[in-house]
Amino acid sequence: MPGIIVVGAQWGDEGKGKATDQLGGDVDVVVKFNGGNNAGHTVVIDGEAYALHLLPAGILSETAVPVIGSGVVVDPEALFSEIEAMESRGVDTSRLVVSANAHVIPPFNRLVDQATEKLLGAGQIGTTGRGIGPTYADKSNRVGIRIQDLLDPEIVRERVRRSVWQKNRALEEAGIAERVDADQVVAQLMEYRDRLAPMIVDTSLLVNRALDAGEKVLFEAGQAVMLDLDHGTYPYVTSSSATAGGALTGVGVGPTKIDRVIGVAKAYTTRVGEGPYPTELLGEEADRLRELGGEYGVTTGRPRRVGWEDAVVLRYATRINGLTDLVLTKLDVLDSFETIPVAVGYEVDGEFTSEMPVLQQDFVKAVPVYQYLPGWRRDCTGARKFEDLPKEAQDYVKFLEEQAGCRISAIGVGPGREATILRHRLV
């Protein structure tokens, strides 16, 4: 069973890092296929928390080869900073490889990102301001800079000069006084070349050879299905494909190489940034859930929006990704609630639907229709078998499983590596 894809089944921050890390001990290659340092994963090992942004969670495995794929956009400064942080804590990063075709986030795109948000005013997307969107836009406009381009200064100069006049115009329109100096950008990018050069490989070839040799390869998504450029809550989405399909294009493998697609979902929901969110909670109840779950962004530190579980979203994620398994995280966060609502559908203009509305404006005005399940009001952090959970917690998991139309194969009951209940083998 060589090819396994792990994707977020909600709006991100579901615990993909922990899930990937756990699986990483049993796989040979872990490859990140989309996004950049806008995503954040927290992995807890022996009480030590590791915050990952650009690096694949497989970096924490002692044996797996961590790979940054072609679909990722790479900020070299952020990459080196993260590598240094890992190495200072004794993590071996020497096995890391980066796709020659991955695109570089030039320093001026961080400015452009912030300028774009400013111009949008009340219609802001809520980006992290790290230059992710402008870099994907450059990629689509065929003016982007790839990792391999850094090996040829002339190519870099040409690409930078083609882009800079557009960037300076955007900054001017946004009222930002700072301007981009093309020569300065080129010099800065060239500083990264020597350090990056040993990491640059044909990652598609590496991954396909591993799969053909029967090795186990884990494909790790940044972001999640509801933030996917094609299938998310557009325009409040990320700039890349965060679905299982994105793993194929973001790495360069065919669909016949994939054996399992694992979705990761919290036992409730969260969202960072703007956009529709039917089950969102406000006020004291939201504050309580946020504090219990520690719901603050790994990358930005922003308080996450929080809400009850949304079975419509889970069904949608199962369909879009062709999920074979779900990993349910943070079940323990719900330990103290007397009653736990789950949205089983929406009411839109007086009509009930159990599926994702076709029209975005209908999703915006969707009112969740809840089914109320009894809470268990007992600590489940010590459970290591499904049977160890309180009956109400078992029933909650089974209910979500039925609603999603996908088996829940693993359950997180705490932040640590060991705090996981395995119902069905994932690797």
Active site residues: 13, 41
Neighbours of 215 (CB within 10 A): 16
What beta strand segments (E) does 122-199 contain? none
Question: Could you say which DSSP state residue 248 is in?
Answer: H
Neighbours of 72 (CB within 10 A): 29
Q: Which tokens sit at 69?
A: 């794929």
Closest-CA residue to 370 (of 392, 399, 398, 349): 399
Coil, strand, or helix at residue 28?
Answer: coil
| Cα–Cα distance, 96 to 27 (Å, whole number) | 15
Closest-CA residue to 237 (of 344, 363, 112): 363
**Kindly report the CA angle at 292 between 289 and 296, in degrees rounded to 5?**
80
Residue 59 near residue 52 (C-beta atoms within 8 A): yes
Q: Indicate the angle between helix axes 244-251 and 203-212, nearest 10 degrees.
A: 110
Residue where the block lists tokens 């790479």: 74
Tallying the residues shown for the chain, one arrives at 427
Q: Indicate the angle between helix axes 244-251 and 311-321, nearest 10 degrees.
A: 40
Closest-CA residue to 327 (of 224, 211, 210, 216): 224
| Cα–Cα distance, 185 to 286 (Å, whole number) | 44
Coil, strand, or helix at residue 399?
Answer: helix
Q: Indicate the angle between helix axes 108-120 and 153-173, nearest 10 degrees.
A: 20
Phi and psi dihedrals of 210, rounded to 5?
Answer: -65, -45
Question: Could you say which DSSP state residue 159 is in?
Answer: H
Residue 21 near residue 231 (C-beta atoms within 8 A): no
